[in-house]
Amino acid sequence: MRILIAEDDQVLADGLLRTLRASGAAADHVASGTEADAALLTNTEFDLLILDLGLPRMHGLEVLKRLRARGSTLPVLILTAADSVEERVKGLDYGADDYMAKPFSLQELEARVRALVRRGMGGGSSTIKHGPLVYDQAGRVATIDGHMVELSARELGLLEVLLQRAGRLVSKDQLVERLCEWGEEVSNNAIEVYIHRLRKKIEKGPVRIATVRGLGYCLEKIPG
């Protein structure tokens, strides 16, 4: 999953980045409202926005208002001071999906992030199934016919993207957008290496990653 964090407290932002990246997410950070607005205008691949309301240069509520005015349905989790009830209400009225009052538990934040991302993808279940291949997004565990498949964090992220678009073509550029953070250099050759490694681990059953030369990849079921 790809997450944008808009938070001007650098210590808190660093903690969020470490936590979310450790859970396998690609997380990017901006420290002002104008930066958040610009990032949301130019990148449509985010799965979630974690938005502090007290941002400099543009208030968090204005960032949210502009986002919804553009017709975006991106899930938004608001971070706010414990005593700002009025701002929390405004945030929900402007289209936020959830909020957390500071200070908060990072474990609870991770759980809310997973729930909001699942909701944004149109499903309430944490599992994605494709034939005998099952991926638990909450536990980040993949199984084939009930047997666990050992995957690296990058392989799990790649599998998640392909499963979310099972049966549809996913280009290399889309994979880079979904898996990589700002400033992270990942070449097309590297994507090919990740695909090769993932293939070796999951193509033991009736599923395969088909290559459409020059265009990308597609997760398919092999007819029985």
Q: Where are the domains of the chain?
A: 2-120, 127-221
**53: Cβ–Cβ under 8 A, 6 or more apart, which residues?**
59, 60, 61, 78, 79, 80, 81, 84, 87, 91
What is the architecture of the domain spanning 127-221?
Orthogonal Bundle (1.10)
Q: Name the pairing type of β-strands 127-130 and 98-102.
A: unpaired
Full-model pTM: 0.73
Cβ partners under 8 Å of residue 206, min gap 6: 131, 132, 221, 222, 224
pLDDT surpassing 70 at residue 122: no
pLDDT in tens, 34-90: 999 999 998 877 889 999 999 999 999 999 999 999 999 999 999 987 667 888 888
Half-sphere exposure of residue 104, counting CA atoms within 13 Å on the CB side?
21
* Average of per-residue pLDDT values in the chain: 87
- Report the CATH superfamily, name and number, of domain 2-120: Response regulator (3.40.50.2300)
CA distance 150 to 216: 24
Nearest C-alpha neighbor of 206 from the set 140, 139, 127, 132? 132
Rounded Cα distance between 77 and 98, Å, is 5
Least confident of 17-21, 27-31, 84-88: 84-88
